[in-house]
């Protein structure tokens, strides 16, 4: 396995550590040499504009914060690149206690929650702090990618006390690290689909009122069917036939459960959960009445600009691609496998593409709510136009001019276990009131680069995870297992072309 290559902006931090070691050694050398090394470090740092004024031996990863107001409006290509570079640096930064790591008085809960007892253990592999940087987990095949089983997270919104020490599934749901490539496109699709569903709801309510009779509507957005909604003349709505999303008809594309709405929301959660780095937009004076909610002696740990930088980087990450194998045997096998993938109705859930109208990513987004910076809170809404990225031009468009996002997913939750096939029904705690055996269709783009498989990362081959498809996917899975072994291998050969570019 090749070790992931660290991109430039992350090297800034790594280099400053290496340089620190170098400069300690060089201290024995003439002072003039030391000065030239230090000025080289200073000039390197000032390229990325982050660590200008602070001496490189100070054990902080963040010596300044990104100013939200410096990055508002429709960002030029250069400003977007600059903001994303800052975000990459933050994603790769190993935060320290001087930056604000730790939350001795706060839990990892999404809603700011105080601990009942002081947390004596700063790091705890189960309830957090469980890592030093975002890229500690998201690192294969490179920064922003997925993680191996050893990087699993024990997710539970219920940890309000000292935190669980046990990996027993009674206390948390164990999830494997998924990759974030193409995440901006995923969020844009979810936003557009949510808007479509909300329009359908508005229309059926109006129709029911105007006609004085019950009216139903099929909830279809971009070809994905989320069941139906019935409205009555008095404005009541029957929600019982909605499928695969929450009853507020908001598509929440993130986590393998499909319960988080936006990169912004996720980022603020993750900073607190994994690192005890608390974003002021949630944990600051406005919502908690305190400027050091976690009681670690550091205030303003993460500014709104810092969160924006992290979002801009994640949102502009290139989507995975389908590669053409050099080996002609593999090419043939993959072509056959691709046809079988349709024939077995894998595409019923892993839809090849979903059409996207606009590449303009507003941050904060239309669905960011209290506890995350909101559009209504600031004059500083930024637009990251993904058309300005290097990869946008390579995405195909349909005849209507829509961008075809090749995600191999449907942004819908499905029941994945039944009375016989239980493997994916392994969780004991329901998350946000979603049934325990329902998961959002795993987007298969990049799947060849993200072994292991399944939401717990406990399956080592693609065949194992396909065989584990029960519930709504049972028919497809049974057909797969009935295929001659050569055809099963053809499907795997196809899946193995879906890579994250190194």
Stretch that binds ligand HEC, among 3-11, 25-33, 202-210, 268-276 (CB under 6 A): 268-276
Cα atoms found within 13 Å of the Cα of residue 184, Cβ hemisphere only = 29
Q: Which is nearer to ligand HEC, 401 or 484 (CB)?
A: 484
Quick check: 134 binds ligand HEC (CB under 6 A)? yes
Cα atoms found within 13 Å of the Cα of residue 414, Cβ hemisphere only = 22
Minimum distance from residue 21 beta carbon to ligand HEC (Å): 25
Which residues lie closer than 8 Å to 204 by C-beta, 6 or more apart? 215, 216, 217, 229, 230, 231
Tokens of 22: 């170098």
Quote the CA–CA distance of 167 and 189 in Å, as a whole number: 35
Quick check: 312 binds ligand HEC (CB under 6 A)? no
Minimum distance from residue 22 beta carbon to ligand HEC (Å): 28
Quick check: 267 binds ligand HEC (CB under 6 A)? yes
Tokens of 117: 């007892």
Q: Length of the chain in residues, anyone?
A: 502
Q: Give how many residues touch ligand HEC by CB under 6 A.
A: 56
Q: Which of 54, 151, 217, 359 is close enough to bind ligand HEC by CB under 6 A?
A: 151
Quick check: 271 binds ligand HEC (CB under 6 A)? yes
Q: Which of 462, 493, 498, 500 is close enough to bind ligand HEC by CB under 6 A?
A: 462
Tokens of 119: 């947390």
Tokens of 330: 């593999």
Q: Which is nearer to ligand HEC, 37 or 189 (CB)?
A: 189
Cα atoms found within 13 Å of the Cα of residue 339, Cβ hemisphere only = 6
Q: Which of 189, 197, 221, 465 is close enough to bind ligand HEC by CB under 6 A?
A: 465
Q: Which is nearer to ligand HEC, 209 or 501 (CB)?
A: 501
Quick check: 268 binds ligand HEC (CB under 6 A)? no
Q: Per-residue contact track with ligand HEC, 351 to 380, x per CB under 6 A?
A: ------------------------------
Cα atoms found within 13 Å of the Cα of residue 347, Cβ hemisphere only = 14
Quote the CA–CA distance of 63 and 52 in Å, as a whole number: 8
Minimum distance from residue 48 beta carbon to ligand HEC (Å): 19
Contact, 360 vs 383, CB < 8 A?
A: yes
* Closest by Cα among 99, 148, 157 to 128: 157
Quote the CA–CA distance of 306 and 279 in Å, as a whole number: 9
Quick check: 257 binds ligand HEC (CB under 6 A)? yes
Q: Which of 4, 6, 96, 136 is close enough to bind ligand HEC by CB under 6 A?
A: 136
Longest dimension (CA), the chain: 90
Minimum distance from residue 324 beta carbon to ligand HEC (Å): 20
Q: Which is nearer to ligand HEC, 35 or 369 (CB)?
A: 369
Stretch that binds ligand HEC, among 253-261, 296-304, 357-365, 394-402 (CB under 6 A): 253-261
Which residues within the stretch 66-95 sit at the binding site for ligand HEC (CB under 6 A)?
A: none
List b or e across 379-397, with b for residues whose CB sees 16 or more CB atoms inside 10 angstroms: ebbbebbbebbebbeebee
Token look-up 């190194």 returns 502
Catalog residues that contact ligand HEC under the rule CB under 6 A. 130-131, 134, 136-138, 151, 153, 155, 175-178, 180, 183, 254-257, 263, 266-267, 270-271, 274, 310, 314, 344-346, 348-350, 414, 416, 424, 439, 441-442, 444, 447, 450, 453-455, 462, 465-466, 469, 472-473, 476-477, 480, 491, 495
């Amino acid at each position: 396995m090749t070790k992931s290559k660290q991109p430039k902006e992350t090297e800034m931090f790594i280099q400053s550590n290496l340089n620190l070691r170098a400069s300690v050694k060089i201290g024995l050398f003439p002072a003039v040499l030391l000065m030239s090394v230090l000025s080289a470090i200073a000039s390197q740092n000032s390229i990325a504009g982050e660590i200008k004024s602070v001496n490189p031996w100070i054990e902080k990863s963040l010596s300044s914060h990104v100013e939200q107001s410096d990055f508002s409006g429709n960002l030029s290509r250069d400003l977007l690149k600059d903001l994303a570079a800052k975000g990459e640096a933050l994603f790769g930064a190993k935060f320290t206690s001087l930056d604000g790591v730790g939350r001795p008085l706060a839990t990892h809960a999404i809603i700011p929650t105080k601990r009942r007892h002081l947390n004596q253990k700063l790091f705890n592999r189960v309830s957090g702090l469980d890592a030093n940087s975002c890229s500690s987990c998201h690192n294969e095949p490179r920064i922003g990618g997925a993680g191996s089983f050893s990087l699993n997270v024990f997710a539970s919104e219920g940890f309000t006390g000292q935190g669980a020490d046990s990996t027993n599934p009674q206390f948390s749901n164990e999830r494997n690290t998924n990759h974030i490539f193409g995440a901006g496109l995923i969020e844009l699709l979810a936003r557009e689909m949510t808007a479509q569903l909300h329009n359908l709801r508005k229309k059926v309510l109006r129709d029911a009122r105007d006609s004085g009779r019950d009216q139903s509507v099929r909830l279809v957005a971009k070809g994905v069917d989320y069941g139906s909604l019935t409205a009555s003349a008095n404005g009541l709505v029957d929600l019982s036939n909605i499928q695969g999303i929450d009853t507020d008809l908001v598509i929440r594309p993130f986590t393998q459960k499909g319960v988080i709405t936006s990169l912004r929301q996720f980022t603020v959660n993750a900073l607190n959960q994994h690192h005890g780095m608390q974003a002021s937009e949630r944990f600051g004076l406005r919502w908690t009445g305190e400027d050091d909610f976690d009681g670690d002696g550091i205030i303003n740990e993460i500014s709104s600009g810092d969160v924006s930088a992290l979002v801009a980087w994640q949102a502009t990450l290139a989507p995975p691609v389908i590669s053409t194998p050099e080996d002609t045997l593999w090419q043939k096998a993959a072509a056959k496998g691709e046809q079988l993938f349709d024939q077995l109705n894998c595409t019923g859930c892993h839809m090849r593409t979903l059409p996207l109208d606009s590449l303009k990513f507003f941050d904060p987004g239309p669905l960011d709510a209290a506890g995350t910076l909101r559009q209504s809170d600031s004059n500083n809404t930024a637009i990251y136009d993904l058309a300005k990225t290097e990869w946008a031009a390579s995405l195909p468009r349909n005849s209507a001019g829509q961008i075809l996002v090749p995600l191999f997913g449907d942004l819908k939750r499905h029941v994945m276990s039944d009375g016989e096939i239980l493997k994916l029904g392994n969780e004991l705690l329901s998350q946000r009131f979603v049934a325990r055996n329902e998961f959002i269709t795993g987007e298969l783009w990049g799947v060849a680069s993200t072994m292991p498989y399944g939401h717990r990362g406990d399956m080592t081959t693609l065949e194992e995870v396909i065989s584990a498809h029960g519930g709504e996917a049972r028919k497809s899975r049974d057909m797969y297992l009935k295929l001659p072994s050569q055809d099963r291998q053809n499907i795997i050969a196809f899946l193995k072309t879906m890579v994250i570019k190194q």
